[in-house]
Structures are given as structure tokens and as C-alpha cells.
Structure 1
Amino acid sequence: MQLRDDFAKHISELHSPIDRPYTTSIDKSLLESTEDIEHLNKEIHDINPDYLTFLPAYFWVFYFAIGWVYFSSFIFFISSINEIFRLETSNVPLLVLDIFILLLMFIVFCAPLVLLLYQFIRKYLIRTQYYFLKKQQKIAYYYRPLWKFRQPYALKIVDYKDVIPDLHQDPYNRAYTPLNLYVADPETGDITYHIKLEDYRVNPRVQWAFIRTYMESPVDELPVDAKFCEAYPADTSKSLFACADIIYRKSGILPRDHSGGGQIMVFIIGSLFTLGYLLQGNNYQTAKQAILHPDVQKLLTWDGQNNPYPIQPITDEAKLAFEGKNWEVNVRWVCIILINVGLFVWAVVAYNS
């Protein structure tokens, strides 16, 4: 996985450039790829005559980090609980050393968990959200260098026709080939903008054909399936549980109306991946809030009426869930969290008994 801000400094260094906007006809055969099109439909965040957005893509590193939190916290407990009450108070230098070691272990092992819980409360944007503005023929997104995590995201606006799509293959993972969009200085060829869509679960050529069809073609040419695309309003994100439910139900295993169906399956799967779904829900929640940025609102001219794209309307249950008032959703997630905490405590006690 490439984590630098720029994969290339000069346009000649791009890996595999493909057709630029409006330069050639769109290969419609790519839109017949059922599996990839279904995936893109599930990932659509908003779609209307003015703008299209996808859910932020997630790397495996997030799941690795979550696993590290559990493992590290577990190691911290089992290695410290037995010793914390055996401090040698009569030996001051040894006591100071033991306390220092415990503090160091806490910082190393429990900091990720503390930061994760802090993120749930703070709800700060992590993943970048891109807005493909059809009427404006622009792409708007928020950018921040990876290492400047304390710096706020800056709004960037790119002319769609200036984009150069490229298939960048990670040299360390040949199976990972995301779609990257670049804008270069016409005189020097230096990369001035880099848009990383970062979705490795779909053929990047299909994804680019989908985007081009939306931006360059009539409505009826875009393969949008109403059973996958739901009309969740951009400004209703009060409940972390409801946002986590959206991510959880995109698999298609469970009912998508927040009605409380499929409870047993939710408990079985949800109890295993609670932090993962909550983390994704948190990112979805913060990405939705980003659209309220005043500079973005100026670019979104759709009045919210008569959407020509087939979108499944939001249900009454989902509306309540987004307001945090759907008791079935809230109770389910609280129970799943309690199951996780109970299993974790049991594991610690069983190991130390």
C-alpha cells in the first residue's frame, strides 16, 4: 500500500494512463460487469443530477489496527495485572522502575484503543470524500498530507476535463491496482493534484467507465439499481449506530430498512467485528458531515426534488435510526458491544486464573 501523497512527480512517471474525459467513446461493455457494477452501486453515497459521491474506501490496515488494539490491550492486561499489586514499596528505585514500565506499557499498548474511542467521540474526518460535480464539471475533495494529521483538511477543486486517469499498481501487492486521477501542469508536466479513489475491490477500468458515464452521458445510460442505492440525506448523521448499520448491511445479508430483522446473524457477525463496523460507521458519519462545508454547498445546486436516478427512498425506521431514536438499532449495538466486553473480560480472567 502506497502512503505517500504523490505516486509521481511528473506526468511521464505515471504507470498506465487510460482514456481521459471526453477524448474517446466510453466502453459500455465495462458497465455489463455485474459484480463490479453491484459493488459500485453499494458504494454510492449520493447520486443526483448535480453530484455523485462514493463511500470512503477502507484499507486492510484499519482491520489490522483494530486487531492490534485487541491484542495489545490483552497483552497489557495479562502482563500487568499479576504484577501491579506486587510492587516493592521498600525498594524505591525498583518501585520507580516498575511504575515507569507500567506507564510505558500503557502508552504503547493502550494508546490505540484510547485514540479509537476518542475518534468515536470527536468524529473527525479521516478518509477523503470526493464529490463528482456533473453540472459544474468539477471534482471537489478534501486534502491533507498524511503526516500532518493535526492540520485541517483543505478543500480542493479540480476541473474534470483536466483529469488524467492512471492505473497505479502497488509494487508490494500486485493484486492491488486502484484508480488514481491526476492533474498536471500543462507546461512542466508536474503533478499538481492527485485524487486517490483507493477502492481495490472493483476493476478500476469499470470504476472509471462508471464515473465517465455519470459525468459525460445522459441519466439513462448509468447502470444504477434502486435496490442497492438508498437516499440517505447528507445531513442526518446523528447516530453512530445507524451509520455502522449502513456499512454492515451493504453485504446484502440483512434487511436494509433498519427494521430489526436478522437479529441472530447481526449478533453472531457483529460481535466479532464490532470495532471494525463502528470505525467504518464513524468514517461514514464524518464524511457525510463534510458535505456541509460552506465552500462545498456553493457547488451543490440541486434542490433535492425529482431525482432522475433510481434511488430507494429512506424508510421510516431508517429515519428514526439516524436520529438515534430507533430502539432496535440502539439496543442491538449496545448488546453487541457488551458481548464483546464480556468475552474480553472472560478471556483476561481465564488466562490469569
Structure 2
Amino acid sequence: MMTETTEELSFNDNALVGQLYGELNRNLAIIEETSGVGIQVRGTTVTLKGSEAEVALAASALRKLYELLRSGYPVYPADVAYALRVLAASPKAVLTDIFLDKVYITAEQKVISPKSLNQKTYIDAIRRHDVVFAIGPAGTGKTYLAVAMAVAAYVNRRVKSIILARPAVEAGERLGFLPGDLAEKVNPYLRPLHDALNDLLGPGKVAQLLDEGVIEIAPLAFMRGRTLNDAFVILDEAQNTTSEQMKMFLTRLGFNSQAVITGDVTQVDLPPEKKSGLVEAQRILKQVKGISFCEFSDADVVRHPLVQKIIVAYQQATGSKKRPATRPASASRRKSGQDATTATRQES
């Protein structure tokens, strides 16, 4: 029989305690449901009851979320879920080091920051390396954070242009049968990149920078023959590049430029006879100095709470949680024992 333990926490700032508990104690409800503890509140004192592991996780989350609030970070219900997920995977993690790492502040004053240990590792890798590969499932922030880093680099005058590329590969559709000219045909493939830029800069600013040629969004094929200097270059959906296309893209990099390549090797839409350039790059380039490989898992999903559950369900259906491609030596391999997204609302 599991032994129940009790721990009492006291906080001294009434205003911050209200934010810590959340509207109608919603943040506490998330902690209860996710960690399994029972929570009783009396003023600024919180009593936790449950197993030793459950109480330790909940207490750590409350203390560290309170420190975030004291540092001026506004804690939303989704942040509580992210915090629990991080601490379940790494109990000694310092949330202020992760959540207070401001990548960029959007046109609507939303702070873009990492929400998991792997996202923090990814951001740091982009700061330190000229070429970074980000590999993992949908919803883990690979592309969005890369675009945020590109915008920050441009705003801080570290680069003169932002170039975003995607391979125009059909996912069950036929490009040739779409209506319109070439630009209209490929636009649906580039829409996610437009969406990220609009969120970060605002549609008006994005339109202006596109007109000025500062931002370029184009199919990968348009990169052939070019040398990209003073640029932050992102290749999205890289699992759908061929070996030749990946080599072509990587050799476009010029002086004072850096590249981020993102993709999910479980969602390759190439014909069976074509080898994914991303899978091959993992094998060929993993030992090359100056190149960093960052790997994400379902624990890093920051979309709707159900997205993480969907990814896990598909992994279980195929009989393994491992990626089908060779795992890069430098990839972070953390597992989370908790589903920290229960009953939460996606805030970012």
C-alpha cells in the first residue's frame, strides 16, 4: 500500500499568490490532475497530500512557478502544464533559466520563450552554431522558434535578410492539378511560414519586408545556384527533400549566414524510391563540427493538449516510441513520465 505524505507551503505575497493559484484556482486544478496530489488552500498556505513522488513534483512546481512570478513572468495555465512536464523529466531543472530566456517580443507584446528543456537546448544551439538541425514531431515549436530567432537576428542587425524555404512536395495531393500560376500553386506549401511571420511581426510589417526583399519565402528549388550571404536561412519540412536537394541547400550558405533545418522523419511524403535528404544528413553530418542536431519528442509539444496524446497514440500503434531514423549523437533524449497537458488551454 502506498504511503501518503503531506507537505505545507506558505507564500508571502498575496498578489502573486492569486496569480499562482490562477483564476478560480485553475492552476492548482491542473497541478492536482497532472501530479495526482490533493490540494487544500487556506489563504497563502497550500497543503499537498499524496505519495512522496507526487507531492515532491507538485511542491517543486509551485515553488518554481512562484519564483517565475516574482521575476515578472506572467504564468498562464499552459505554463503550469509545461512546468510540470519539464520537472517530471528533470526535477532539478531551473524554470527561470528556461521561461525567462526571451527570444523575441511580438508585435502584440507576446514574449516568445522556450517551454521545454529541448526547446531551450535548441535556442542555445542556434546561438552557438551556424547550422542546426531540428528533428521531431509536429507541434514542438521547431519552425516557429527558428523563425523567431531569424526575426530577432534581423532586428538586432546580425543579418540583412531572412530566407525561408520549403520543398513543394505533395502530401496525398497533386500540385499540377491545383488552379492558378506557379506562385498560386506553391503558396499553400509556404502558408505556415507566412503565418509564423505575421504572428511575430504583424501582417503590415511582413508585407513591407517582403516587398523590400528583406524577407524571402520560396520553394526550395528556387535556391539552386545562389550564394546566401548575411542571411538567416530556414529550410522547413526538410524530411521531404531528396539527398540532392539537401546537399544543394546546405552548400548555398555564404559569409555571415546561418541555417536552421527542421523536419519530422516520420512524415516523409517522398516516393518510396526516393531517400529523404534529412535522414541521410543525420547519418553523414552528425560528427561535423559546427553543426548541431536537436531532437524533440512528444513531451515538447506546445499545441493543443490533444496533439501530444495523438502523437503518443500513433507511436504506440507502431509498436515503438523510437524514431525510425538514426538518432543523432548530440540529440537530447529526455522522457516525460507525465502528460502535463490535461485540462489546459494552449496559450502560445
Question: Do the structures match in fold with TM over 0.5?
Answer: no
Q: Which has the larger radius of gyration?
A: 1
